[in-house]
Structures are given as C-alpha cells and as structure tokens.
Structure 1
Amino acid sequence: MSGQLFCQFNDSLPICTFHPELTGNEILIWDIDTDLYLTRIALLKKVLSIEEKDRADRFHFERDSNRFIVRRAILKILLAAYKGCGIKHLKYIRGTNGKPQLAGNNELNFNTSHSNNHAIIALSRHQIGVDLEFINPDFDIIPVAEFSFSADEFKFLAGSSNPLKDFFITWTRKEAFVKATGSGLNDHLQHFSCLNGRQLIPAQLQAEEADWNLDTVELSQEYLLSIAARVTTEPLQSLLVNFNEDLLHDAIQECV
C-alpha cells in the first residue's frame, strides 16, 4: 500500500527550558552535549547493564567509550522517568528489522542519533525516527548520492547552490524515515524521494498504508537534524529540550 511523505525545512524548533510532560501530540527532542558529563562517567556507568558495560569497554578510544556511556545512561534515565519506573526495570526488545523498543509498552516510543559529542534522544507516543549529522565539508557526497538518492534528488543536488547542505538535508530525511519505520529500507533508498513538499512512498516499501511528516532543522551551522513522524489525526509538535546537570541529578535520584 502506498503513502506520502510531507517534507519541510524549519528554521528552528520551539525550546523547552524545563522537564516537560509528554502529551499525546508532542515529540520531545532531547539535545545532549555528551562531553559535559565526562566527569560523571563513574556514576553514569552504574546505570548500565553488564552487556552495555561490555560494549563500552570494546571501544578503541576512551573518548568514544565515555560518550557511549553518557548517551546510553541518559537514554535509560529519560525512559525510566517517562515510564514511571526504576531504571533496573527497563526491558528492551528488538522489533522488526532490529529496531529497539521497550518491552510491554506500546505508548512510549524512542529513537536516538549522535554525531561527535552531539546526541539526540527523541521521545513520543507515536512512531518516530531521527537522524543527526555533522555537515562535514570534507565529505565526498557524490558517491553516496549516486548510490542512495533518487533520480529527482540527484538532479536537484546537481543544480543546488549549496550541494553539501542539501545533501545532508536529504540524507538525514532518508535515514530518519528508515529508522521510524523500522522496515530495513537501506537497500531501497533510491526508490523514494525526500525533497521539500509532498512525495509518494511506493507501495512496495510499506506493509500498511501510512503518511509521514519529515521535518528538518538546522541545530547549528554544523549540525542538521531530521525528524520522521507518522501522521496522526492531531498535528504533532516537536519541542527541543536541552538536557542539563540539574535534570541529570534529579533523574538519578528518582530512578536508580
């Protein structure tokens, strides 16, 4: 069955300066600078499972290991807070094509993305996916675009006045959509377009008919974020939340 993508670029997202409730029509985009919490690694590592600690220890560079610990610990802290349980009671399962989700819970959905020290955790009551990318000026975009972009997207890129930025806009949208659906579409990236406006999703790419919003925002001059969300009867609003030390302290006290 077919569906549609509604793609748009936003100058910014509304910002929350407090720990917000998660209502039925919101997507909370938690923005985290992992390097701000490197002095709390010992405490944060206590939040991780044995498997997660083993994974952290397998990183070649200590910096990457520490960033993983921060990302995973804060994810668990937020999930426990919004689910209303202790961190030790969180259980993960793998959905279709390996997309992680909470066991026994169909109301709290999450998705994550990271680049360098920048991490995003998205929470919603609806099906979502996010992709964050560093706009790397040294990245060779042409080989990836030739392999992954549709004919319309490649034509648009060839005529763009800012091909690097437009490449990452398109790429983050594709990745966010694939992550939202959990449908393993990585081999079919050329078969759908994510240019601004309304785009058709070929019927063979969806098990059931659904429409999706794909919103892209420039978090800074160096980072782009795309958010994919399944269209619902009520419009969804994305809110940007800056994670901070106070939230970390309060959450650990409440959830561990």
Structure 2
Amino acid sequence: MAADQLLDGECQVWWARPDQVSDDLLLAAVPEAEQRRAGRYRQRLDRQRSLTGAWLLRTAVAAITGDRPSEVLLDRTCADCGQQHGRPRLPASVGVEVSVSHAGDRVAVALTRLGEVGVDVEFAPLPGHFDHELAENILSPRELSIVERSGDPGADFRRLWVRKEALLKATGHGLRMPMSRIEVSPAADPPALVAWPLDIPVDQVRLATLDPGPRHHAAVAVLTGATMTVRELDAALLL
C-alpha cells in the first residue's frame, strides 16, 4: 500500500523534525502569507516548527489529491475573529479533515476521512517533573487523584493532557473550554473519552495514543463512532 493512500477507516499521522526539510523545499511549498505568520515567532526554532508544519500539511494533502503543495487550498478562518489563524480546513469536496501540532523536536499532521480530527504533541523538558499546579487546572478531581498515586505522575499527567488537547482541537473549542470539565481514561488504560459537557456522545469519539519518540507525548482524537486505525508515517517518505 502506498504511504500516501488514505483509507476510509484510517487516521494518518505524519511526523517530521523541524530540521528535516531544506529551506528551499519549505519556501517552495509554503505560500508567503504562511511564511509571514511563521516569521512572527521570535525564536528561530519556533519559526522552523511552524514552517515545517505548514510544509508537512500541504505535502501530505498533495500526495492524496495530486495537487502541488503550494496549490493546496487551506482555510484558516478563526471562528472568533475571522482572521486567518484558526484551525486549518480543506474544501469540503476533498473530504479530508486535518490537524497540525508541534512541540520540541516533533511536528505532527493528522489526516482522516472519518470526521473532525485533532492531534496534539507536547515536549517534556524535565521528564520526571510533575507540575501539580498546572495539573489542578487541567485534570478533574478524579483524574488528579489517580495521577497523584501514580509511580510517574509527571508522565501520566502529560498523557492525559495531550488527550484533552487533541479532543478540544477536534471540536474546535481550543482554550474556550476548561480541560478540567473533560474526563478521559486513566493513563494506564486504553485512551477513551469518559465524560464531557458537549452534546456529542462519548461513544462517537475515538482517541489514540501516538508514538512521537523520547521526551514527547502525543494523542489524536477523531469525532466518529466508526472503528479507527491509526497509521504513523515519517515525513522522509514525502521527500
């Protein structure tokens, strides 16, 4: 099966490093408006992550549609202010939902035909550290109690954190909904949505843990009741 073939019951997750793609390829694929948006970051690594995410999204979609990466039509209209910095969307005729995330040394792009998708990756600069104050804001009391009793509360907290981030990216709520109002399965269990205040039934949501590599945690969420297969791929296949 070709790496770029997106199956109906599949969620593809492409992984890249911020230094994996040459500047020539990045600038050829990424339109000037997106280059300018990346240029607003102060740190060079942040700019590189943003550009690589834009390249990876466009190149992965182009591999499916047959378009040139620079010609892929993306709408980033923000639902709140109307500016072009919102979640990326493809034309409805393409039939593919997408999501982008980047942190540390990893850039992720998720694509699926199953339903709206959210992917999240987080970097752990201090692998054994547990930020209890942050956890209190993100976890429900039940989740926090379980994490506090864990042998590695820092890692377990981050596993739950990326699940919730992925869910809110899939729904489009982002930071507008407190993550403590969402409950997911314990870190040691298969990832699943347990409860949230939205009208979408929990059995119409799929969650999966991803493998971004050492010192990173990642998850993907898709709003679907169908069986979902996740396939993780390296951006080297697109070069």
- Same fold? TM cut 0.5: yes
SS in 2 for 1:66: helix
Distance, in Å, in 2 between the alignment partners of 1:156 and 1:57 is 41
Distance, in Å, in 1 between the alignment partners of 2:78 and 2:228 is 23
Match of 2:112 in 1: 124
Distance, in Å, in 1 between the alignment partners of 2:205 and 2:26 is 35
Alignment RMSD (CA, Å): 2.4
Contact 1:96 1:183 in 2 (8 A): no
Match of 1:223 in 2: 216
The more displaced of 41-50 and 27-36 is 41-50
- Give CA deviations for 1:42-89 in whole Å, capped at 9, x if unaligned: 332122222112123322233332332222122112222222323325
* Shift in CA distance, 89/238, structure 1 to aligned 2, threshold 3 Å: closer
- Give CA deviations for 1:95-152 in whole Å, capped at 9, x if unaligned: 7564321134461111111112211111100222111112332755111111121011
Distance, in Å, in 2 between the alignment partners of 1:173 and 1:23 is 23
SS in 2 for 1:34: coil
Matches within 5 A, 1:56-205: 56-86=38-68, 87-94=70-77, 96=79, 98-105=86-93, 107-126=95-114, 127-137=116-126, 141-184=131-174, 186-196=176-186, 199-202=193-196, 204-205=197-198
* Shift in CA distance, 218/103, structure 1 to aligned 2, threshold 3 Å: closer
Contact 2:184 2:194 in 1 (8 A): no
Code of the aligned partner of 2:40: R
Structure 1 residue 236, shift from structure 2 partner: 1.0
* Shift in CA distance, 67/217, structure 1 to aligned 2, threshold 3 Å: closer
Computing the radius of gyration over CA atoms, which structure comes out larger, 1 or 2?
Answer: 1
Code of the aligned partner of 1:56: A
SS in 2 for 1:111: strand
Contact 1:41 1:69 in 2 (8 A): no
Aligned: 1:53 with 2:44: no
- Give CA deviations for 1:3-62 in whole Å, capped at 9, x if unaligned: xxxxxxxxxxxxx9x52310100111111122122xx20332122222112123322233
The more displaced of 189-198 and 23-32 is 189-198
| Higher relative contact order, structure no. (Cα contacts within 8 Å, ≥ 6 residues apart) | 1
Distance, in Å, in 2 between the alignment partners of 1:62 and 1:137 is 22
Distance, in Å, in 2 between the alignment partners of 1:236 and 1:96 is 28
Distance, in Å, in 1 between the alignment partners of 2:195 and 2:220 is 17
The more displaced of 191-200 and 66-75 is 191-200
Distance, in Å, in 1 between the alignment partners of 2:164 and 2:72 is 33
Code of the aligned partner of 1:64: D
Code of the aligned partner of 1:192: I
Code of the aligned partner of 2:38: A
Report percent identity of matched pairs: 24
Contact 1:113 1:131 in 2 (8 A): yes
The more displaced of 105-114 and 87-96 is 87-96
SS in 2 for 1:241: strand
Match of 2:83 in 1: none
Distance, in Å, in 2 between the alignment partners of 1:199 and 1:42 is 42
Extract unaligned runs of 5+ from structure 2: 81-85
